[in-house]
Amino acid sequence: MRKNPSRDGSHPCDQCEKSFVTQKLLEKHQMSHSNSHVCSDCGKRFRRADHLKRHQRGHTENKLYICPHCGKSFGYSGKLTQHVRLHTGEKPYQCSDCGKMFAAIKTMKRHQEVHSTHRVKPHVCTTCGKGFARHEYLKKHCTIHTGVKPHQCSDCGKSFRLLDHLTRHQKKAHGERLFPCFVCKQCFVSEHTLKVHQKKHTRPYHCSLCDKRYADKGNLAVHLRVHTGEKPHLCSQCGKCFSGKQQLQLHLLVHSGEKSYKCSHCERSFANTPILKRHIRTHTGEKPYRCSECGRSFADGDTLTKHLRTHTGAKPYLCSLCGKRFSVKQRLKEHLMVHSGEKPHPCSHCARSFTSTSNLIRHLRTHTGEKPFKCLDCGKGFARSATLKNHQRIHGRVTKDQAPKDQ
């Protein structure tokens, strides 16, 4: 049986943790650290001479293989085959662990590392302590801390942190895009990416328990856990569970303490882009989420979703003990305390406790005498909005603007 050189070797590499059974294998491996073979035409570096020689044919030889979709030409048939998959959406390589499909075998092999239960992460970031399976992953990660953007677009000069970000930008901003969306007029480099985009308009995946729709089947599956209460993604550091993998990944940044996303308006920093964007709207006053029923605007999509339920009457949150339904998840949590008898909010003035902070605030007014709800007609104050509404009938008018929401 052939030995694995990275496990049973007596010739260790002084630049990484690998070791090899022979000196020749070690020397061949060390080339991967040096990238000593440089192309004289474009400056690109290669760790092996045969890789450089193959690359240089692209500069010297005719590119005989032409893409029938966009006209781009290639020096090798294999490169053309791989490129055509951008147009056709073909993904012939399937992961044997999860069934996910890939256009290139190299991408699939890299993906399969995710499934390894004994993944070693020897490459550690000295800034935040995060570990990586490959040195190239660590290099990409480190640019988050340094802010370096080494990949510059030759067309407009814009710089990017990662090469694939630059590639995506060049295709979108400067490349020939042949497949237009007839709804929003946006164009795409392949028919496959167009079809994926169009689902954003049609949202074909509909939740049978509430009014929400999704462009992606996976997002619908994650959403359904809101109704079932399923939270399969466990944080190994604090035991908190999450319904979606992305929510867990965002939560893990809380433990790392990493806050790389800085607000340009103030000194605050945030763990991820979505939280930063929401925060920036507190400075700009932007409310991009508009209700199609009444015209009201909101700063984030979650608040709009909750508001829409006032029009539709949807109550997606079900109490499994008594069958009562609620439009807001927090109301269900408070209701469940009625069954459990839990009252975690004690009054500082007396011995009473309450299931929610809003009930506690209302109760505290009986001690403080505060009456925050004022009648605009006569100036009389009230401790609760419901009492104000009843009073306003004397004046012959009750409007939502005059009767603020009780707390």
More confident residue, 77 or 346: 346
Q: How far apart are CA 277 and CA 96, in angstroms?
A: 38
**pLDDT, tens digit, 9 for 90 and up, residues 64-102:** 778 887 777 777 778 888 888 877 878 888 888 777 888
Q: Is the pLDDT of residue 388 over 70?
A: yes
Q: Is the pLDDT of residue 350 over 90?
A: yes
The pLDDT assigned to 2 comes to 40
The pLDDT assigned to 403 comes to 44
Confidence of residue 58 (pLDDT cuts 50, 70, 90): low
The pLDDT assigned to 118 comes to 53
Q: Is the pLDDT of residue 386 over 70?
A: yes
Q: Is the pLDDT of residue 309 over 70?
A: yes
- The pair of three-digit structure tokens given for residue 237, joined into one six-digit string: 């550091």
The sign of the torsion formed by the CA atoms of 366, 370, 373, 376 equals positive
Most confident listed range (301-305, 327-331, 387-391):
387-391
Q: Is the pLDDT of residue 139 over 60?
A: yes
**Half-sphere CA count of 299, side-chain side, radius 13 A:** 13
């699939």: which residue's tokens? 108
Q: By mean pLDDT, which of 8-12, 217-221, 236-240, 329-333 is the weakest?
A: 8-12
Q: How far apart are CA 311 and CA 294, in angstroms?
A: 9
Q: Are strands 269-270 and 11-12 parallel, antiparallel or unpaired?
A: unpaired
**pLDDT, tens digit, 9 for 90 and up, residues 168-222:** 777 777 765 567 777 766 666 667 777 888 888 888 888 888 778 888 888 888 8
| Domains, the chain, with CATH or none | 44-110 (3.30.160.60), 203-284 (3.30.160.60), 302-392 (3.30.160.60)
User: What pTM was computed for the model?
Assistant: 0.36
Q: Is the pLDDT of residue 401 over 60?
A: no
Per-residue pLDDT averaged across 324-329, rounded? 87
Q: Is the pLDDT of residue 6 over 50?
A: no
